[in-house]
């Protein structure tokens, strides 16, 4: 069963995101999820975290190696199909 959740957002954060060029609806959605600056949405390679700074990255890699790529790929396809 799908459950909808109403999230509140700071009007100041919404306004800041709008001033940085985001559409008002996207500004509300992102602000409600904790985004405070449009640069947080920049996924350019130079803005991504270094892999060594990710917590539990080695454990995740070991799990992927144990379970194999197919299990992860099947789960991803299921999630995409359900969206």
Q: 54 or 77: whose pLDDT is higher? A: 54
Say if residue 75's pLDDT is above 60: no
> Encoding tokens for residue 60?
């995740």
Q: Where are the beta strands (DSSP E) in the chain?
A: none
pLDDT over 90 (residue 21): yes
The residue that leads in pLDDT, 52 or 12, is 12
Banded pLDDT at 81 (limits 50, 70, 90): very low
User: Residue ranges of the domains in the chain?
Assistant: 7-47, 49-83
Give DSSP secondary structure letters for the chain.
----------HHHHHHHHHTT--HHHHHHHHHTT--SGGGG---GGGSPPGGGSTTHHHHHHHHHHHHHHHHHHHHHHHHHH-
Percent of all residues in the chain with a pLDDT value above 90, rounded to a whole number: 37
């Amino acid at each position: 069963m799908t459950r909808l959740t109403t999230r509140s957002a700071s009007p100041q954060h919404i306004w800041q995101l709008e001033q940085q060029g985001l559409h008002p609806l996207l500004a509300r959605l992102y602000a409600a999820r904790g985004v405070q600056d449009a640069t947080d949405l920049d996924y350019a390679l130079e803005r991504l975290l270094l892999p060594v700074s990710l917590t539990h990255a080695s454990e995740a890699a070991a799990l992927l190696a144990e379970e194999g790529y197919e299990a992860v790929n099947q789960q991803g396809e299921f999630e995409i199909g359900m969206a």
